[in-house]
Amino acid sequence: MSTVFEMSRDELLSLYNSTLAEYAECKAQNLNLNMSRGKPSREQLDLSNDLLNMHIDPSETRVDGVEARNYGELMGLPACRRIFAELLGVRYEEVFIGGSASLAMMYDIIAKAYTHGLLHSEVKWAKLDRVKFLCPSPGYDRHFAISESFGMELITVPMTDCGPDMDVVEELIKDPDVKGMWCVPKYSNPVGAVYDEETVQRIAHMHPAAPDFLLMWDNAYCVHEFEGDFAPFIDILGACREAGNPDMVFEFASTSKITFPGAGISCFCCSEANMAYMKKLWNVQIISYDKINQLRHVKYFGNASGIIRHMKKHAAIMKPKFDIVLDALTREIGGLGIAKWSRPTGGYFVSLDAMPGCAKRIHALCKEAGVVMTDAGATFPYKRDPNDSNLRIAPSFPPCDELVQAMQVLCVCIKLAALEKLLSI
């Protein structure tokens, strides 16, 4: 197949007309499909149904001297903290078990920076005229939304295949108004990049001008490979400690995409000095999070290996879906030179870069044909993609047959938008 750039205008017109016909066929199907959010499918939810029916004997509710049914133990059940320490490679003392959503824990850390200041803050952020935050992009829209909600200035940092462009980051952090950075280090949302060792070490060794620089390390997909075995990762807390930056980082994880989204357990991890500071603040906010749900998860998994074994079942459901996405893209638009896309081995997304200026149009075309995609631009700060190029494909939720249909529509729309652009139609 020739790329569109090798085609004559007549060839382009001919391709445009056939694509237009394909698009009409798509619309005629009256589809109602959704590839917009990283939401587990019904089949994935079914994997954890034993959590719905678990038998816990009242005699089992007292573990490590803590009664899970009553108030107390702010940092969570010790047994649960041990599992997350093992899973993330951090120390037991560095783990705080939170509620059912790590997003809420991230929000809370940011909120506390504003209302109380962080351990090394000279002044609480609410008193500052300007707070800037680094947003490697394409990135996670909900991270950016938190920053935006607090009135931060969001600074776009380009993503590479091995993490944020550290040359850019190291320059930007010389500005004392730059107070932190969002990171999804493994199977990053949406590009699926795994930060390589050099990038992680450069991050750990940063010398930000702000003494209270806040590295938000959202390890949302730490065990979420769908291809190959569990890929070990660097303990960012240890790396920062060894680099002389022990208090710079907060790491987050949850079981939302392991057991039940929004009904699992979450945690944050930080240095012991940060933890002592945060415990004082958190102690005002809550007596303890849901220890019964922590107990259920401890009983269900036993240890970190139990979680990794469980993730193999998710992988078996996810892999065919990513194959559908990648096969369709290769088959339908592979040779045309009108888009590039990621080929992740874990996580929840395929990131697609269409021809500049085409993403919004593709999104609209898809919508008109009954396929809902994540909003074009959503993966950038302020929902503004400077190139209007990036689209996030979330294949987890639809069943395979629907996904095949949705990808068919998407590929037609990518072609159509590109041809409209090339032909100035």
Give me the residues that bind its own copies (CB under 8 A), please.
Answer: 37, 39-40, 42, 45-46, 48-49, 51-58, 61, 67-72, 99-101, 103-104, 107, 111, 114-116, 124, 126-127, 142, 145-146, 149-150, 256, 260-263, 281, 284-293
Q: Where are the alpha helices (DSSP H) in 184-249?
A: 197-204, 236-242
Task: Supply the minimum distance, in Å, between the C-beta of residue 196 and its own copies.
Answer: 30
**Please, which residues have CB within 8 angstroms of residue 359's CB and are 6 or more apart in sequence?**
376, 377, 385, 387, 388, 389, 390, 391
Minimum separation from the CB atom of position 169 to its own copies (A): 25
Sheet holding 350-354, edge to edge: 339-341, 350-354, 390-393
What distances in angstroms separate CA 135 from CA 37, 206, 257, 407, one per listed residue? 20, 16, 23, 29
Decide whether 133 or 260 has the Cβ nearer to its own copies: 260
* Residue number, 102 or 390, with CB nearest to its own copies: 102
Q: Write down the least CB distance from residue 85 to its own copies, Å.
A: 22
Rounded CA separation 142/133 (Å): 14
Taking the least distance from each CB to its own copies, the nearer of 69 and 367 is 69
Integer Cα distance of 370 and 373 in angstroms:
10
State the minimum distance, in angstroms, from the CB of residue 58 to its own copies: 5
Q: Is the sign of the CA dihedral 193, 102, 284, 68 positive or negative?
A: negative
Residues 172, 209: contact at Cβ < 8 Å? no
To its own copies, the closest distance from the beta carbon of 258 in angstroms equals: 13
Cβ atoms of residues 180 and 157 within 8 Å? no
Ramachandran angles phi, psi of 406, nearest 5°: -65, -40
Q: Smallest gap, in angstroms, from Cβ of residue 418 to its own copies? A: 33
Compare residues 67 and 161 and give the one whose CB is closer to its own copies. Answer: 67
Strand pairing category for 95-97 and 266-269 = antiparallel
Partners of 251 in the beta sheet? 217, 269
Decide whether 289 or 322 has the Cβ nearer to its own copies: 289
Q: How far is the CB of 349 from its own copies (least distance, A)?
A: 15
116 or 205: CB nearest its own copies: 116
CB-nearer residue toward its own copies: 105 or 333: 105
Backbone angles phi, psi at 362, to 5 degrees: -60, -45
